Amino acid sequence: MDKISLIGLIIGIGAILGGQVLEGGHVASLLQPTALLIVFGGTLGAVMLQSPLATFWRGLKMALWVFFPPVINHEQLIGNVTQWSHMARREGLLALENFANQVRDDFAQKGLQLLIDGVDAAHIREIMEVKLTAFEDEMRLSARVWEAAGGYSPTIGILGAVLGLIHVMENLSDPSKLGAGIAVAFVATIYGVGLANLVYLPIANKLKAYIARQVAAKEMLLDGLLGIAAGDNPRIIESRLQGYLYKETRYKDAPTRNAPRRR
């Protein structure tokens, strides 16, 4: 479990609630089901309207990555590619067929199958880069579900505030109803801005970081497969792939940048 995500969420919400209490307010005053319905329901509807069903559903499932990120073991990947290169060098490319049947990752399995079929390095690069680009585009579209929610939520919050004020204006003659209307107006704005900046946008950015790491791992794999196809020495392949471990640290600092692919 990614503990920093949980700690960050607790600190963010706790700071807001703590500030409310320190100012003499009550936490219960921030609990407005009507405002939550307006903001959450309106944002959900807007995101669903913008997104294809498959993209929307994949984006929702990817939110689990915030607390349970996908496991990417670069050292193991380098070890696998090195093992494949030794096997191909000793027994030929056809010997990789056993590995192709055991690999679970579709990208790796496709690359190994191309090697087994005797496809030259240039065509392997062309085929695999198309597959990699499609994967990256598909995953980023799913992450943008949360980015879109972060864009719509504040506006829907303002809409909720306006609706609350309309309710206030309609009941000026009945002071007992003014408090509820004003509460909905202000709390709706808090929900809209708070959900966008404490939940939706952070989720989107974290998903982008994990997508970038997955793309980097696939680029590493592709580099190794091309080395095998070119008949490079296994030690040279391993040394070249070790350079991607430094690239991996850059993804953590700049999650939205794409790494340059070998040409």
Q: Are residues 22 and 37 in the same domain?
A: no
Q: What is the pLDDT of residue 249?
A: 53
Q: What is the pLDDT of residue 127?
A: 93
Judge whether 24 lies within some domain.
yes
Q: Are residues 93 and 10 in the same domain?
A: no
Q: What is the pLDDT of residue 259?
A: 43
Judge whether 262 lies within some domain.
no
Q: Are residues 203 and 215 in the same domain?
A: yes
Question: In sequence order, which residues have a C-beta less than 8 Å from that of residue 63 and are 6 or more positions away?
Answer: 146, 203, 207
Q: What is the pLDDT of residue 255?
A: 46
Q: Are residues 72 and 27 in the same domain?
A: no
Tell me how many domains the chain contains. 2
Domain with 43, as residue range(s), is: 32-253
Q: Are residues 78 and 10 in the same domain?
A: no
Q: What is the pLDDT of residue 181?
A: 65
Q: What is the pLDDT of residue 231?
A: 85
Q: What is the pLDDT of residue 257?
A: 42
Q: Are residues 23 and 140 in the same domain?
A: no
For the chain, which residues score pLDDT lower than 70? Answer: 174-181, 183, 246-263
Q: Are residues 25 and 110 in the same domain?
A: no
Say if pTM beats, i.e. exceeds, 0.75: yes
What tens digit of pLDDT does each residue of 43-78 get?
Answer: 999 999 999 999 999 999 999 999 998 888 888 889
Q: Are residues 15 and 107 in the same domain?
A: no
Judge whether 263 lies within some domain.
no
Q: Are residues 26 and 36 in the same domain?
A: no
Task: Give the CB-side neighbour count of residue 97, counting CA atoms within 13 A.
Answer: 7
Judge whether 187 lies within some domain.
yes
Q: Are residues 104 and 209 in the same domain?
A: yes
